[in-house]
Amino acid sequence: DQQVKQNSPSLSVQEGRISILNCDYTNSMFDYFLWYKKYPAEGPTFLISISSIKDKNEDGRFTVFLNKSAKHLSLHIVPSQPGDSAVYFCAAGVDYSGSARQLTFGSGTQLTVLP
Amino acid sequence: DGGITQSPKYLFRKEGQNVTLSCEQNLNHDAMYWYRQDPGQGLRLIYYSQIVNDFQKGDIAEGYSVSREKKESFPLTVTSAQKNPTAFYLCASSPMTGSGADTQYFGPGTRLTVL
């Protein structure tokens, strides 16, 4: 049972345009969400996160939107650059205060930014 | 520079042999994690540890063992009981501030191939 789903395995966009990556989750206990970027044969790099008390978080070209009622979050990259081409993972967790956070990851979306 | 190191980057093992993957961090993080990634799939949690001499099973712990004798080190042993050990293994660490901002940071990974 996949609790975190990324239904688009791949996405191609033109350089300079907006990239929108989507993620759905089923566990209503999740209250913290993260996006990671991963290049082949490397570890994931943290991009941006959002707590369930917010519906938007912005960091430079990256913005994450959270729709709790729809159990949906999205990552917007504006403008997209060729260096953004990578696999993007959505992850979700429950904030048990004082405990290590167990994250559940989606299967990833391969973003290709075309020059 | 602070970070997480994993060694070796590539590892080959004969079927039936145990092998240990190294993970070291100098970020002074309390929590450490081991994940496995298979092609086209997200990261799956094998084991995690919140404190020295304590660790918990993740979603796919069967065939694996860990130890946490030092805060900085969290080695993973892939035993001969693991039926499909060929995969990309990722180690991560995070602080445990209890504030909900416990982002996990990843090492570069170890590619294990069983011959």
Nearest-CB residue to B90 (from A43, A97, A108) = A43
* Bond preceding residue B39 cis, omega within 30 of 0: no
A39: nearest CA partner in chain B: B108
Mean pLDDT along residues A9-28: 97
Mean pLDDT along residues A28-44: 91
Instruction: Looking at the complex, report in whole angstroms how far the Cα of residue A34 sits from the nearest Cα belonging to chain B.
Output: 8
Task: Report pLDDT for A102.
Answer: 82
Residue B100 has pLDDT above 60, yes or no: no
Q: Using pLDDT thresholds of 50, 70 and 90, give the confidence band for residue B72.
A: very high
Q: Using pLDDT thresholds of 50, 70 and 90, give the confidence band for residue A42.
A: confident
pLDDT above 90 as % of chain A: 81
pLDDT above 70 as % of chain A: 95
> Hey, how many other C-beta atoms are within 10 angstroms of the C-beta on A84?
18
> Hey, how many other C-beta atoms are within 10 angstroms of the C-beta on B79?
15
Instruction: Looking at the complex, report in whole angstroms how far the Cα of residue B80 sits from the nearest Cα belonging to chain A.
Output: 24
Cα B107 to Cα B5: distance, rounded to the nearest angstrom: 6
* Token pair 């602070």: residue: B2
Residue B101 has pLDDT above 80, yes or no: no
Task: Report pLDDT for B29.
Answer: 92
Rounded (10°) CA dihedral B91, B94, B96, B98: -120
Residue A109 has pLDDT above 90, yes or no: yes
Mean pLDDT along residues A34-62: 93
Please list every residue in chain A whose beta carbon sits closer than 8 Å to the beta carbon of residue B52: none
Subunit contact A108:B107, Cβ cutoff 8 A: no
Cα B62 to Cα B9: distance, rounded to the nearest angstrom: 23
Task: Report pLDDT for B98.
Answer: 62
Cα separation values, A32 from A43, B75, B103, Å: 21, 28, 10
Task: Report pLDDT for A97.
Answer: 62
Widest distance between CA atoms in chain A = 46
pLDDT tens digits, A63-108: 999 999 999 999 999 999 999 999 999 999 887 666 667 889 999 9
pLDDT tens digits, B14-70: 988 999 999 999 999 999 999 999 987 889 999 999 899 999 999 999 999 999 999
Task: Report pLDDT for B39.
Answer: 84
Mean of all residue pLDDT scores within chain A: 92
Residue A55 has pLDDT above 90, yes or no: yes
Task: Report pLDDT for A45.
Answer: 93
Please report, for chain B, how many H helices and E strands are present, in that order: 0, 11
A3: nearest CA partner in chain B: B42
Task: Report pLDDT for B93.
Answer: 94
Nearest-CB residue to B48 (from A36, A51, A102) = A102
